[in-house]
Structure 1
Amino acid sequence: MKIFVSINEYQGLAGRSTNEILQLYAAHGQQMKLQRISVVTQLHGAIKRLKQDLKSLHSFALELSKDFQHQSKTCLYQVLAAVQGIQLQNEAMQKFQIKAFDLEQSLQEVTERFEKEKQKRKALHNSLIELRGNIRVHCRIRPLLPFDDATGHSVSQDRQRNFSEKAAYAADDETVLVKCSRPGHASVNKTFQFERVYSDLESQDAVFADVAPLLTSLLDGYNVCIMAYGQTGSGKTYTMLGPQSEGNLAFSIEEESELGIIPRAAQEMFRLISEKPPGSYWVEVSVVEVYNNEIFDLLAKDSYGKVFGVKRDVVTTREGKSDVPLLTHVTVENASEFLHLVEKGLQLRVTHPTLVHAHSSRSHLVVTLTITTVVFGDNFGTLWENEQTSQRLHKESSCTFPQKVGESKSASSSRASSPVQLEATEKMKQVKTRLQLVDLAGSECVGLSGVTGAALRETSFINRSLSALADVLGAIAEQRAHIPYRNSKLTHLLQDSVGGDAKLLVMLCISPGQKYLTESLQSLGFGTRARQVQRGQVKKKNFPVPSKGK
């Protein structure tokens, strides 16, 4: 009974559940249908919006395409215009290039004509100088150097700054420009004209290139003197000799480009002589210094053969020429022997350190090359034709028979007594020309150099001798009856060269710094006065004229 009841209950529950499930399914279907309708509606809306966006995008693309086409056309027109402009510019550039080329050629032609006219003017000017006997004056401006910053005494910072500034410049190759400025005063520019002006960038080669033509004059029968003038530390010794090492000159092949006028002049002289017939020339050298108004022979030797400075005196001969009796003259056969002798002399030269220069020269150095030309009256022409005769006569007739390097005076005198030599001496004639190379001691301001004691005394003698040189030039310029050569041993020694018996070149050396303005102006003033001196035409040593047919 109970079992049937339970089955009925379960059947009732199952029937009710089925109804409920059907009801739930119907409800769910309705809901699904509503959801599908909603999704479809949303999709229709999205599609509609997409169509609107696509339409807008299409319109924008059309507008963009039109705008792009318009801009493309505009850019194309601009490119075409630019191309046309470039073509026009290229044509104009080509015309300018042609014009520039023509102008360059014209400029080159004008420059060449200018250089030719300049050389002609220079040649005429030099001829005028020779006819008047004027003193050639060149000016060299050295570079600023580290010690130019040191003043040597207490000064303000403003003055210290001014001291390190340049005051002297090479305006061109004939003009020196000096800026004169003083505190509280307007700057004033002064100019000085000389035959040649070297800037601080020009080399030793450039300096010697203008000196070399004078050396040819020696073999043509003229005496020549080259003199360096300027204050202490202005580059005189560097210009005349070259670089120094520990106060001594360092002649070396490695430093050949730095060699000064003296070693270069020796090399050039022996080069010129080598082109002449052998034995027709020989060269003697003497080296002296003028120290504290005394002349010292720097090649004299003692009985042991040691070189030491011997005091000599300068006299005036009957012919009115200056001469130094007993002065040592040594014959040299090449430039190396000459440089060896000069170095020996330099080792004895007096130097002293100052605030301006560590190896300041305290004496005037005079290196003299005497060139003897052997000529033979009627046999003059034969001398040049017979080389062996020339060599034999040179060996047998060394004239007054100067001492050779390393030869004793007794050996020299024994050679002179040979009968063959006496016979040769009677037949031959000699023409002597002289090259004097002078490195003057520097003028200096005691306040800048800071010298005391013996060095102060040296400075006094140096300045007095340079003042005497200026007095001599002034007297010559004014054509006074009396020329005060004997006021100083320096001027007495250089009497012949300064007085008109030699072609004289003064190489002014100046420092560019504001610190040395006063000394530079003094040197430039000296050069200006020297340039104006007219001594009359320089005398030439006449060589015998060879007989016709010889």
Structure 2
Amino acid sequence: MRPRSGLDPGSVWAQRLRQLEQRLRAKEERIVVLETENAALHLKLAEYQGLAGRSTNEVLQLYSAHSQQQKLQKSSAVIQMYGAIKRLKRDLKSLHSFALELSKDFQRQSKTYLYQVLTAVQGIQLQNEAVQMFQIKAFDLEQSLQELTERYEKEKQKRRALHNSLVELRGNIRVHCRIRPLLPFDTAAGHLVSQDRQRNFSEEVAYATDDETVLVKCSRPGHASINKTFQFERVYSASESQDAVFADVAPLLTSLLDGYNVCIMAYGQTGSGKTYTMLGPQSEENLVFAIEDESELGIIPRATQEVFRLISEKPPGSYWVEVSVVEVYNNEIFDLLAKDSCGKGSGVKRDVVTTREGKSDVPLLTHETVESASEFLHLVKKGLQLRVRHPTLVHAHSSRSHLIVTLTITTVVSGDSFGTSWEDEQTSQRLHKEVSCTFPQKMKESKSTSSSRASSPAQLEATEKMKQVKARLQLVDLAGSECVGMSGVTGTALRETSFINRSLSALADVLGAIAEQRSHVPYRNSKLTHLLQDSVGGDAKLLVMLCISPDQKYLTESMQSLGFGTRARQVQRGQVKKKNFPVLSKIKPKTPVD
């Protein structure tokens, strides 16, 4: 090792030597320690070798002892297993005997249950036979009930036909009653009703117990309820449709074509369903024929369709139809088909007079000729748009006038054809064909036109013998009777209500006078009764359609309507006379009329 520059080489080596000496002394000390440990280990090895010699003998002794112990343990285990086997055999024997007893008990119970099942099956078979017997008896009873029901319906129809014949012979007024369902405006109309009447608010008190009887529950605060019944020719419940109503009206239209005057009149309180029955439903936008479903059509459109259907079955040109529409408003008559100078529809005031024959007539009344039901409904719709309406608390579209739609059916017959024989029918038919082309001009110029068109003296003579025969169908939608406190009307509407109630009261007075067979009947007390004189007291078949509400708060008005109908039934006017229509009307045409 080369000494650093600047250092004394002797001191460096001396220092190096001292370091090596220190390291040597440390090595020597370490050797002494290791030698000491080695000696100790040799001593332990000798000790362990001595111990190992002794342990070998002990291990041999222990092994022989362990072998004997294992033999003893094996012998003890065998003994224990043998005892366990004995116990298992005993248990197996016990289980076997228990299984035998259980099997015997199961067999006994199986036999018992099988017997019970067989008994139950036999019982069920007997019950099935009994059920079959009952089913046969029930089927026989159902057949008997059906037969009795059919017989009852036939007898009821016969009784009704006989009753109708009796009504016709006596000249009685037919009265039908229709109960409308509860409607939303019944609830809306209750805020001005007295507290006593609001107590049973929207409670049904009028029911149809059968198709001829109305039951009304009459009650007052602090008194027991009293049931009153009213009998009419027909009663319609709230669930019966427009079809059911018209089914009972249709036979009158056949009478119309047979030469009888017919009048169908709807009577009742405001909002009781008169206009719905006569025309059909109404809406906010369209108050006239607001109908989407034809099943909702009322009597007026249905009657028109039926009349033209019946006419189509008659000889061509033998019948034609005219229509007039009037309203009685504030005891004045207005012609709703009249037109002003500009050709627009405007209700023109008319008057009613009594002719020398004692018949009521409206001079200058507009009569429009129609050839189909659609033309008729179009004219009626135009007239209805002029009808006076005013909202009340009872009904939002309350009619403030009496509507009278008149459908006049005219035929022309020869003067000699009244009472003609069957042999003269072909001659009568020829005469009808000869004048059928002249009649649509309303016969205003019948004599001059017929004479000018006659091509021979025989035709001229036959034409001069022609005679008009008219039958009239009046369809009347009366304004509703009102309680001023209920309807809440004031001003003009109150005046309208006064005229409506007075005219309806006059109608009741007329019926009372006829029923009591007084010498004087006050037809002229009201324009309404004067206009309907021929229908109410004359030779028309009259049907009054009572319309009532089932609601408790309208009980007074419903009772008044039912009382009016009861009085109307008591009227006997004598047998209704038939117009002298010729036998020709019974001949079926070869080609239908358009």
State the TM-score, normalized to the length of structure 1: 0.90
Q: Which amino acid in structure 2 is aligned with residue 90 of structure 1?
A: N
Q: Counterpart of 1:410? A: none
Within the alignment, does 1:523 sit opposite 2:561 as a pair?
yes
Within the alignment, does 1:361 sit opposite 2:403 as a pair?
no
Q: Counterpart of 2:270? A: 232
Q: How does 1:94-243 map to 2 (within 5 A)?
A: 94-153=132-191, 160=198, 162-243=200-281
Secondary structure, aligned partner of 2:437: helix
Q: Counterpart of 1:394? A: 436
Within the alignment, does 1:268 sit opposite 2:310 as a pair?
no
Secondary structure, aligned partner of 1:178: strand
Secondary structure, aligned partner of 1:245: coil
CA contact (8 A) 2:171 2:576 kept: yes
Within the alignment, does 1:481 sit opposite 2:523 as a pair?
no
Q: Which amino acid in structure 2 is aligned with residue 129 of structure 1?
A: V
Deviation at 1:231, TM superposition (A): 0.4
Provide closer, same or farther for how the CA distance between residues 416 and 204 of structure 1 changes in structure 2, counting only shifts above 3 A.
farther
Provide closer, same or farther for how the CA distance between residues 16 and 148 of structure 1 changes in structure 2, counting only shifts above 3 A.
same
Q: Counterpart of 2:589? A: none
Q: 1:305 pairs with 343, 355, 359, which one?
A: 343
Q: Which amino acid in structure 2 is aligned with residue 231 of structure 1?
A: Q
1:218-270 Cα offsets, whole Å, 9 max, x none, are 12111100000000111000000111133745548842111100011110111
Provide closer, same or farther for how the CA distance between residues 12 and 512 of structure 1 changes in structure 2, counting only shifts above 3 A.
closer
Q: Counterpart of 1:407? A: none
Deviation at 1:425, TM superposition (A): 5.3
Q: Counterpart of 1:319? A: 357
Deviation at 1:500, TM superposition (A): 3.1
1:28-67 Cα offsets, whole Å, 9 max, x none, are 1233234324433443444344334433433332333223
Secondary structure, aligned partner of 1:429: strand
Name which one, 1 or 2, has greater alpha-carbon Rg: 2
CA contact (8 A) 1:228 1:509 kept: yes
Q: 1:26 pairs with 64, 71, 80, which one?
A: 64
Task: Provide the rounded CA distance (Å) in 1 between the counterparts of 2:536 and 2:412.
Answer: 27
Provide closer, same or farther for how the CA distance between residues 453 and 8 of structure 1 changes in structure 2, counting only shifts above 3 A.
closer
Deviation at 1:542, TM superposition (A): 1.9
Q: Counterpart of 1:350? A: 388
Q: Counterpart of 2:452? A: 420
Provide closer, same or farther for how the CA distance between residues 201 and 414 of structure 1 changes in structure 2, counting only shifts above 3 A.
same
CA contact (8 A) 1:384 1:390 kept: no
Q: Which amino acid in structure 1 is aligned with residue 452 of structure 2?
A: V
Secondary structure, aligned partner of 2:200: helix
Tell me the percent identity: 84
Task: Provide the rounded CA distance (Å) in 1 between the counterparts of 2:124 and 2:468.
Answer: 80
Task: Provide the rounded CA distance (Å) in 2 between the counterparts of 1:149 and 1:211.
Answer: 32
Deviation at 1:187, TM superposition (A): 1.5
CA contact (8 A) 2:447 2:464 kept: no
Q: Which amino acid in structure 1 is aligned with residue 437 of structure 2?
A: K
Task: Provide the rounded CA distance (Å) in 2 between the counterparts of 1:42 and 1:158.
Answer: 103
Secondary structure, aligned partner of 1:395: coil
Task: Provide the rounded CA distance (Å) in 1 between the counterparts of 2:246 and 2:501.
Answer: 28
CA contact (8 A) 1:377 1:545 kept: no
Q: Counterpart of 2:30? A: none
CA contact (8 A) 2:389 2:399 kept: yes
Secondary structure, aligned partner of 1:360: coil
Secondary structure, aligned partner of 2:357: coil
CA contact (8 A) 2:438 2:449 kept: no
Provide closer, same or farther for how the CA distance between residues 14 and 358 of structure 1 changes in structure 2, counting only shifts above 3 A.
closer
Provide closer, same or farther for how the CA distance between residues 460 and 27 of structure 1 changes in structure 2, counting only shifts above 3 A.
same
Q: Which amino acid in structure 2 is aligned with residue 526 of structure 1?
A: F
Deviation at 1:151, TM superposition (A): 3.9
CA contact (8 A) 1:133 1:500 kept: no
Unmatched tracts of structure 2, length 5 or more: 1-44, 455-459, 585-594
Q: Which amino acid in structure 1 is aligned with residue 207 of structure 2?
A: Y
Provide closer, same or farther for how the CA distance between residues 415 and 310 of structure 1 changes in structure 2, counting only shifts above 3 A.
farther
Unmatched tracts of structure 1, length 5 or more: 1-6, 403-412
Provide closer, same or farther for how the CA distance between residues 161 and 29 of structure 1 changes in structure 2, counting only shifts above 3 A.
farther
Provide closer, same or farther for how the CA distance between residues 9 and 442 of structure 1 changes in structure 2, counting only shifts above 3 A.
closer
Q: Counterpart of 1:288? A: 326
Provide closer, same or farther for how the CA distance between residues 377 and 419 of structure 1 changes in structure 2, counting only shifts above 3 A.
closer
1:242-301 Cα offsets, whole Å, 9 max, x none, are 111337455488421111000111101111111111111111100000001110000001
Provide closer, same or farther for how the CA distance between residues 96 and 287 of structure 1 changes in structure 2, counting only shifts above 3 A.
same
Task: Provide the rounded CA distance (Å) in 1 between the counterparts of 2:189 and 2:535.
Answer: 37
Q: Which amino acid in structure 2 is aligned with residue 452 of structure 1?
A: T
Q: 1:93 pairs with 119, 122, 131, which one?
A: 131
Q: Counterpart of 1:68? A: 106
Task: Provide the rounded CA distance (Å) in 1 between the counterparts of 2:94 and 2:486.
Answer: 94
1:378-429 Cα offsets, whole Å, 9 max, x none, are 4777776787864551221347537xxxxxxxxxx69966743795752211
- More displaced stretch, 374-383 vs 534-543: 374-383
Secondary structure, aligned partner of 2:538: helix
Task: Provide the rounded CA distance (Å) in 2 between the counterparts of 1:370 and 1:169.
Answer: 37
- More displaced stretch, 23-32 vs 360-369: 23-32
Q: Counterpart of 1:432? A: 470
